[in-house]
């Protein structure tokens, strides 16, 4: 192939926004010549690499837009340390069928047992499956809604939290919620009800949500909508931070069991 033809091909690929193929063009042509590849095989390889590159770029972009506090895949979750979790159930959730079915996922358990890790890991699986995901803590969510309400922009802000296919709300119950915040939270839950699934984590049992939201009526209304179509994961185990202290010898095993 002469240089002029190579330049024309590169220009065509650039105009078609096939940037991976443009980057790999010479190497792919050399490989095809060396292996005497059939035209169809060569075309399939070129397109497969382009599709893979675009998919990877989209995943990276959607992961950044999700605003995760960290990126930890499900494969790094230590199920052996948390035997109370049904691994098969989590793997079923990782297929993301719960999103298509409109089911919520509620992850309950004391601090440090991996609730956020599970929520983020499932969020990453959703992104890989092509869904748009948004992560927020309950405190940040309510602060944002309260500020928007005071500025007359509540509908605009609610759309930000209702547009993503999957919304993750972390740390419900770590801080008390005032009545106005509880009402705003209820408005969001109502807007997503049976339209957009959510993953929520909490260190409080459902029975304590009346105290968390400062109003048992509002808490009941929230739970009624959340639990209508929901899967609940209840983690009963030690904190991962305690695990690291055990490894470092900072805590004796008998103290961990107490």
The pair of three-digit structure tokens given for residue 59, joined into one six-digit string? 């995943």
Give the model's pLDDT for residue 165.
Answer: 97
Confidence of residue 253 (pLDDT cuts 50, 70, 90): very low
The residue ranges of DSSP E strands in the chain, in sequence order, are 104-108, 133-137, 166-172, 198-202, 230-234
Task: Give the whole-angstrom CA distance, residue 139 versus residue 116.
Answer: 14
Percentage of residues of the chain with pLDDT beyond 70: 93
Q: Is the pLDDT of residue 242 over 90?
A: no
Q: Is the pLDDT of residue 244 over 80?
A: no
Task: Give the whole-angstrom CA distance, residue 191 versus residue 162.
Answer: 7
Q: What is the pTM of this model?
A: 0.84
Burial annotation 194-218 (CB, 10 A radius, 16+ → b, else e): eebbbbbbbbbebeebbebbebeeb
Per the prediction, the chain carries an average pLDDT of 92
Higher pLDDT, 123 or 42: 123
**DSSP annotation of 37:** -
Average the pLDDT over 202-222 and give the result: 96
Q: For residue range 159-183, what is the model confidence (pLDDT) as tens digits?
A: 999 999 999 999 999 998 999 999 9
Confidence of residue 254 (pLDDT cuts 50, 70, 90): very low
Q: Is the pLDDT of residue 256 over 70?
A: no
Task: Give the whole-angstrom CA distance, residue 221 versus residue 216.
Answer: 9
């Amino acid at each position: 192939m002469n240089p002029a033809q190579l330049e024309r091909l590169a220009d065509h690929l650039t105009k078609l926004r096939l940037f991976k193929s443009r980057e790999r063009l010479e190497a792919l042509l050399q490989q095809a010549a060396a292996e005497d590849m059939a035209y169809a095989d060569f075309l399939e390889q070129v397109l497969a690499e382009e599709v893979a590159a675009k998919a990877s770029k989209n995943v990276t972009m959607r992961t950044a837009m999700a605003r995760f506090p960290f990126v930890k895949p499900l494969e790094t979750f230590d199920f052996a340390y948390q035997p109370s979790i049904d691994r098969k159930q989590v793997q079923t959730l990782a297929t993301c069928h719960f999103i298509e079915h409109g089911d919520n996922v509620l992850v309950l358990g004391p601090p440090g047992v991996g609730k956020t890790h599970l929520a983020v890991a499932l969020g990453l699986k959703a992104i890989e499956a092509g869904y748009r995901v948004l992560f927020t803590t309950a405190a940040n969510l309510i602060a944002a809604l309260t500020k928007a309400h005071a500025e007359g922009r509540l509908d605009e802000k609610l759309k930000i939290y209702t547009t993503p296919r999957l919304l993750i709300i972390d740390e419900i119950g770590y801080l008390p919620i005032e009545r106005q915040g509880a009402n705003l939270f209820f408005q969001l839950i109502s807007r997503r009800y049976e339209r957009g699934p959510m993953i929520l984590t909490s260190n409080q049992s459902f029975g304590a949500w009346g105290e968390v939201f400062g109003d048992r009526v509002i808490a009941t209304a929230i739970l009624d909508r959340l639990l209508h179509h929901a899967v609940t994961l209840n983690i009963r185990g030690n904190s991962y931070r305690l695990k690291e202290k055990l490894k470092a010898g900072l805590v004796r095993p008998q103290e961990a069991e107490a």
